[in-house]
Amino acid sequence: MPEKRAARLSPDERRAQLVSIGVDMLADCSLDELSTDDVARRAGISRGLLFHYFASKRDFYRCVVRWECDDFAAATEPDPLLEPVPWLRSFIAGFAAYVTEHRKVYLALVRGAGGSHPAVEDIVESTRATLARRVEEGQRRLGMPDSPRLLVAARAWMAFAEEAVTSWPPDGPDALAELGAFLESSFVSLLGALDRPAALTG
């Protein structure tokens, strides 16, 4: 049977295609198991041609991880013009929806051992720092008291939220709404000290 011939793509389109294939494959394998031979085969090109677009396997890995992390960061970025409560709910909804829809890749990469891989650790940590800053911003937008332990609390809430989203039963028409309410309640409880902020009363 003749081999699949690669469609003619521009260099940017080919790079994007190869990275997208790599991201899809991470749903079923670890970063170390991600085979450039298999990526090239799925794209219908030779392994040698793949390395025409990427300087090395490490460069390819970094591009794959950056693609996924950039998508995650974009999905959790609320409109800055929103009022405090809608801003927080937009952030939480984006976080929950993205992790739910990309659960396998998220577990393998952002939360799993892939996140500490020496080739990509800095990219994953930068993304986590971006998310932590958004948690801190949400806390401040709601008028909660500042604290020298705010960054620790933000990271703690992220760990809680990750576990909640990846473990939440997906069944039922209101599953995502119930998850969002649960995450919002935990946000207020953890980052709001003892008093429920005025922005969320009523």
Q: How far apart are CA 31 and CA 146, in angstroms?
A: 39
Same domain (yes/no): 98, 47: no
Q: How far apart are CA 185 and CA 111, in angstroms?
A: 23
From first to last of its 202 residues, the chain has per-residue pLDDT tens of: 344 555 678 889 999 999 999 999 988 888 888 999 999 999 999 999 999 999 999 999 999 999 999 999 999 999 999 999 999 999 999 999 999 898 888 887 766 655 568 889 999 999 999 999 999 999 999 998 888 888 889 999 999 999 999 899 878 788 888 999 999 999 998 887 534 445 455 4
Domain that holds residue 102: 64-194
Same domain (yes/no): 163, 176: yes
Q: How far apart are CA 23 and CA 182, in angstroms?
A: 30
Same domain (yes/no): 92, 188: yes
Query: Among 43, 35, 38, 36, which Cα is nearest to 17's?
Result: 43
Same domain (yes/no): 50, 131: no
CB atoms closer than 10 angstroms to residue 180:
18
Same domain (yes/no): 31, 45: yes
